[in-house]
Amino acid sequence: QLQLQESGPGLVKPSETLSLTCTVSGDSISSNHFYWSWIRQSPRKGLEWIGSVSYSGGTYYNPSLKSRVTMSIGTSHNHFSLRLKSVTAADTAVYFCARGLTTVYFWGQGTLVTVSS
Amino acid sequence: DIQMTQSPSSLSASIGDRVTITCQASQDISNYLNWYQQKPGKAPKLLIYDASNLEAGVPSRFSGSGSGTHFTFTISSLQRDDIATYFCQQYHNVPPRITFGPGTKVDFK
């Protein structure tokens, strides 16, 4: 059964870089043509797509975040990652990793990241 | 960017009631519209894809319709397990980009 698990620091200081990893079990990132995505949710902005990475490493990013976002895929360890630089309090949210791009078929449980000094 | 609106923002209903939620897109999105259910503290769950297709394993009391800019999501007979927030989500294919509606919270009257 597919499982996605987010991991990373729950607290990040303003101006620093937020780094999260999503570990995939029950499916191989490199064995199909799915995109793997990051989506965040906050009371202020609701659900917001951050971006997606393909099994081959191709990426699509939300234009509003593109200058600060990097996503990568690690097929040897069946995971994919998110880096969001120069964070502010507005980046405080629950971050979900997920399978799918235009349609999000499966989500991780989410991890709360707070930006605060 | 395409903006999505939902109405109502919240509603109260009784067990067995028919519940209808609408989603409006700021421009024509054909049938590129999905619906998700989210319970408190949980991740969203896909219910309907491409406006009217029921995801595998989802009860048939859930349905969706519409195309262009106006879409409808219906629960034919509300069950206790349906208390949740429901989101619509549109997608572009070229370039790929998705945006979500603000959500509709459904609870018991």
Q: B101: which chain A residues are within 8 Å (Cβ-Cβ)?
A: 46
Q: Give the closest-approach CA distance of B80 to chain A in angstroms.
A: 22
What is the band of B37 on the pLDDT scale with cuts at 50, 70, 90? very high
Model pLDDT, residue A114: 98
Q: B87: which chain A residues are within 8 Å (Cβ-Cβ)?
A: 46-47
Q: A98: which chain B residues are within 8 Å (Cβ-Cβ)?
A: 43
Q: Which of B50, B87, B95 minimises the CB distance to A47?
A: B87
Q: Which of A46, A48, A105 minimises the CB distance to B103?
A: A46
Model pLDDT, residue A30: 80
Unique residue bearing structure tokens 């600060």: A68
Q: Give yes or no for a contact between A48 and A38, defined as CB atoms under 8 angstroms apart.
A: no
**Burial class of residue A110 (count of CB atoms within 10 Å of its CB; 0-12, 13-18, 19+):** buried
pLDDT tens for each residue of B55-90: 999 999 999 999 999 999 999 999 999 999 999 999
Planar angle of CA A70, A97, A40, nearest 5 degrees:
80
Q: Would you list which residues of chain B are within 8 Å, Cβ to Cβ, of chain A? A: 1, 32, 34, 36, 42-46, 49-50, 55, 87, 89, 91-93, 95-103
Q: Which of A49, A103, A104 minimises the CB distance to B99?
A: A49
Cis peptide before B40 (omega within 30 of 0): no
Q: Give the closest-approach CA distance of A49 to chain B in angstroms.
A: 6
Model pLDDT, residue A113: 98
The dihedral sign for the CA sequence B25, B31, B37, B41? negative
Model pLDDT, residue A60: 95
Tens place of pLDDT per residue across chain A (117 aa): 899 999 999 999 999 999 999 999 998 888 778 899 999 999 999 999 999 999 888 999 999 999 999 999 987 779 999 999 999 999 999 999 999 999 999 999 999 999 999
Model pLDDT, residue B76: 98
Model pLDDT, residue A32: 72
Model pLDDT, residue A115: 98
Give the C-alpha separation, B88 to A37, whole Å.
17
